[in-house]
Amino acid sequence: MIKVEVDMAKCQHYGQCVFEAPDIFRLNADDKLEYTADADDSERANIEAAVDVCPMQAIRIVE
């Protein structure tokens, strides 16, 4: 399993991560980011891609 952490103080809800890992990240009805903290190992590449594209560099993978 992978643990995902988003620093919500940094996050500006740009939602770029949603395109890379749609099963982990989503924007809710108020345009705010929501995410699933526990992810399957098969999601690693997608989550790393989400980390890469986050403008605020707010996403971390906690091993």
Partner 1 sequence: MNHPVVIVGASMGGLRTAESLRRFGYLGPITVIGEEIHKPYNRPPLSKEVLAKEVTHEAVAFEERAATADVNWVLGTRAVSADFEHNTVTDSDGQVHPYAALVIATGLRSKRLNVPNGELSGRHALRSLEDAIALRAELVQGKNVVIVGGGFIGCEVAATAVKLGCNVTVVHNAAHPMLRPLGSELAEQMQLRHEAMGVTFKLKRTVTDLIGVTHVEGVRLDDETILDCDVLIEAIGSHANVEWLSGNDIDRNDGVLVDSAMRIMTRTGHAVPNVFAIGDVARFANPIFDQEARRVEHWNIPTETAKRAASVIAAYLNQTDSYPAILDEPFKPVPSFWSDQYDNHLLAFGLLSLADKATLVAGVISGDCVFEYRRGDQLVGVCGIGMRPVVQSYRAKFI
Kindly list the residues in this chain that would bind partner 1 in the complex (CB under 8 A): 12-16, 18-19, 27, 31, 45, 48, 51-53, 55-57, 60
DSSP the chain: -EEEEE-TTT-----HHHHH-TTTEEE-TTS-EEE-SEE-GGGHHHHHHHHHH-TT--EEEE-
Indicate the residue among 36 and 57 with the shorter CB distance to partner 1.
57
Q: How far is the CB of 52 from partner 1 (least distance, A)?
A: 5
Instruction: Provide, rounded to whole angstroms, the least separation between the CB of residue 57 and partner 1.
Output: 5
